[in-house]
Every structure is written in C-alpha cells, then in structure tokens.
Amino acid sequence: MKKNKLISRILFIIFFGLISSIANSEEKDSKFNVYSGMFDFSDTGKKSTLIGFQHQNEDLNRDTFLGNISPITGALVTADSAAYVYTGVQANYKLGKINFTPSFTPGLYSKGNGKDLGHIIEFKSELQISLDLFSNSQLGFSYNHLSNASLGTKNPGANSYMFNFFKSF
C-alpha cells in the first residue's frame, strides 16, 4: 500500500511539474490536446472513464523520411485514480482537412484503484484521426494500447478510446 502511495505522489509531482513548465514557457507554437474517453474498454471488469491532456511544441517538428515528427508530453487520469504520465514522439500526416497521427510514448503508470498493468513502466501506442475545424483547432478520435512489453511478471495491457479537442497557440 505504501508503494502505491509513493508512486502516486511521484506521478503527481511530475504531472504538475510538466504543467508548470508548459505554462511558464515562452513557446510561440504550442498545441494542446484535451481528451476524454474510456480506459480499458475491452475489460468489462476494469474499464473506467478517463481525462487527459497532451502538449506538443510545434517549434520542434522535423520533416523526416517518416513524415513530420514531433515530441509530445502528457498525462491521463482515470475515474479509478489510475494515472499515466508520458513523453514520446508522434508523426503527423495531413490529407486535406483530415489529420492522421500515430504516436509512441513510454511513461510511468500508477494503478490507483484501477487495473494492475504489471509494471510502473508502460508503453502507449496510439492512432489518432482528427479534422481541422478552424486554422487553430481540431476535433478528433483516438485509440491506444498500453503495455509493459513483458517487463513485469504479468502484462494484461489496456485498450482505450478518446475524443480529442486540439487548440494551437
């Protein structure tokens, strides 16, 4: 029990440290993604609603042979007090007003009262589709899978879906 409280406190400190650094930055091209959905919808015993946010610094975008790549950082929390704080990369593919965005983000997970995913280190693979609403906002849908890549003694994974709203500043 003490281990879970310690992990939760560490995630809480990291989460608010990220928010503070983002809020105090002088970045001109930031994109924020606020999302909500269902965590582990495929497990009827442990599914839970979730909310989260993600930050992307568009000044760090790079055009590569894989497309436009950029770093992302974010966090999510479930209604069962599970939390996941992550940072990684995403690729951006634009097809007219439709955006296709796959991403990969390693991070730290705390189960809270939610599903035990088997390890504190988890990896999130996500596919996201969004539609440009205006020049600085998008509306989208995403699906992700969290897994510890067999780092722990068990690796049940979690599948989630989210509705996303993006705003660029």
Question: Model confidence at 158, in pLDDT bands (50, 70, 90)?
Answer: very high
Query: Residue 26 carries which DSSP code?
Result: -
Dist. CA 38–CA 82, nearest whole Å: 12
Please count the structural domains in the chain.
Answer: 1
Q: What is the CATH number of the domain that holds 113?
A: 2.40.160.20
Length of the chain in terms of residues written: 169
Question: Model confidence at 168, in pLDDT bands (50, 70, 90)?
Answer: confident
Dist. CA 57–CA 43, nearest whole Å: 34
Bridge partners of residue 117, in order along the sequence: none
β pairing state of 158-168 and 30-39? antiparallel
> Side chain identity at 35, as an amino acid letter?
Y
Structural domain harbouring 51: 2-168
pLDDT at 68 over 60: yes
Better-scored residue on pLDDT, 123 or 64: 123
At 79-101, the pLDDT tens digits run 999 999 999 999 999 999 999 99
